[in-house]
Amino acid sequence: MSKGILLIMDGLGDLQDAKGRTPLSAAKKPNMDKMAKSGILGLLSPIGRGNVPGSDTSHLTLLGYPYWEFYGGRGPLEALGSGIKLHRGDVAFRANFATVRNGQIIDRRAGRIPTELGKKLQQKIGKMNIEGVEVLFVSTVEHRGVVVLHGSGLSAEISPTDPHELGAVVQSHALKAGAERTARVLNEFTRRAMDALSRAPENSGRKLPANAVLCRGAGAYREVEPFEKMHGITGACVAGGALYKGVAEYIGMDVIAVPGATGSKDTDLKAKGNAAIKALETHDFVFVHVKATDSFSHDKNFEGKKKMIERVDKELVPLLRKSGANIIITGDHSTACKFGKHTGDEVPLLAFGPGFRTGTQKKFSEVMCMGGGLGHIDGWDLLPIMLNAMGKARMVGT
């Protein structure tokens, strides 16, 4: 019987470059390589072979909540991760401050406005009541925010007002019968927000005024069976990014607040490691998330990704190892530096600890994982494998 740590380096997997290297294979990571030698490797398809996972669908599935049953849009996860309490039937959106000129979106992030300015502008919008629906806008980090609709008879089956590209501001419309009112409410919110923001003195003089709020990722909130009841273990989450904290909140894990955990490349990995070890004293299982590996991949920055992996190996992994827990290190998807986007390629996975066998491979890399003793696993296999290693799996039958 031992505890478990799942360390997700976001977007960890990669394709090889012309020299056959990936950020993971090229990284100097003596700690992880040592664990690979006495642990066991494998390749992970978070949502099935070849399928390209979003971070939300992948994390839910890896944590034992298969996406096809438990995923209902990004909005509620972002809202929960931002500390907003949701009620069953609420419809939530991920929102962006944006800059609109003559009805055209000219910057989808309003020049990545500072967080403090976003908080001030939030006051100008405030809470609204539209057609009996309470509309809440919350500014979170930089241009990011969340919109929540609270009321009865709402539907998430509406189109986004964020066109995901520059161009005309779009109206939301119902994707299914019965969603017309929700679309009208979102459109009226959008109109009023633009009106209020365009009159805000904070925007005057800004080259890219934050004069619009664009919404996407509509999702209706519902409660799900909490992690402890579902899997028979207590769980905690150590993460910087709102989405990952939101996933943990949604499935009833304890989200540990860690000063210095930013979800960016400057994140305090030692603080996260110490918080994880501490959480392990009171929980069976801790999920630790590191975002920057993915961000570097999106920026096509091979060296940055490699160095981030080296930092994790140096600053975070030794702390986690000291716990004596079963540790799985993997990613939520591959993000190919050469394309700058998520791919459906399998993700390297390393399992190490008292509950795992020792395989034959010597280092942690995509190619070594091809010959790993765990073989090729799907995302929904991960938690059962961890529970088994922890001695916490329930026997099926007698």
| Interface positions with its own copies (CB under 8 A) | 15-16, 20, 43, 47-58, 67, 71, 74, 94, 217, 339, 342-345, 355, 357-360, 366-367, 370-373, 375-378, 381, 383-388, 391, 393-398
Residue number, 158 or 269, with CB nearest to its own copies: 158
Residue number, 99 or 361, with CB nearest to its own copies: 361
Six-digit token pair at 127? 């809470």
Residue number, 90 or 332, with CB nearest to its own copies: 332
Residue with tokens 């929960």: 80
CB 356 within 8 Å of CB 326: yes
Q: How far is CA 326 from CA 244, 388, 389, in A?
A: 21, 10, 7
Residue number, 315 or 378, with CB nearest to its own copies: 378
Minimum distance from residue 143 beta carbon to its own copies (Å): 16
Nearest to 71 by CA among 177, 240, 218, 226: 218
DSSP for 237-272 reads EE-SSHHHHHHHHHTTPEEPP-TT--SSTT--HHHH
Minimum distance from residue 360 beta carbon to its own copies (Å): 6
Minimum distance from residue 351 beta carbon to its own copies (Å): 11
**Backbone angles phi and psi of 166, in degrees to 5:** -70, 155
Nearest to 186 by CA among 226, 130, 254: 130
Distance CA 234, CA 269 (A): 23
CB 166 within 8 Å of CB 108: yes
Distance CA 58, CA 48 (A): 10
* 128 CB burial (10 A radius; 0-12, 13-18, 19+): middle
Minimum distance from residue 363 beta carbon to its own copies (Å): 13
Residue number, 78 or 203, with CB nearest to its own copies: 78
Residue with tokens 């927000």: 193
Residue number, 35 or 386, with CB nearest to its own copies: 386
Task: Report helix, strand or coil for 155.
Answer: coil
Q: Which neighbouring-strand residues pair with 347? A: 44
Q: How far is CA 362 from CA 31, 82, 328, 367, 371, in A?
A: 12, 41, 16, 11, 10
Minimum distance from residue 303 beta carbon to its own copies (Å): 20
Residue number, 71 or 137, with CB nearest to its own copies: 71
Minimum distance from residue 91 beta carbon to its own copies (Å): 16
Residue number, 249 or 332, with CB nearest to its own copies: 332
Minimum distance from residue 261 beta carbon to its own copies (Å): 22
Minimum distance from residue 48 beta carbon to its own copies (Å): 7
Residue number, 226 or 384, with CB nearest to its own copies: 384
Minimum distance from residue 191 beta carbon to its own copies (Å): 25
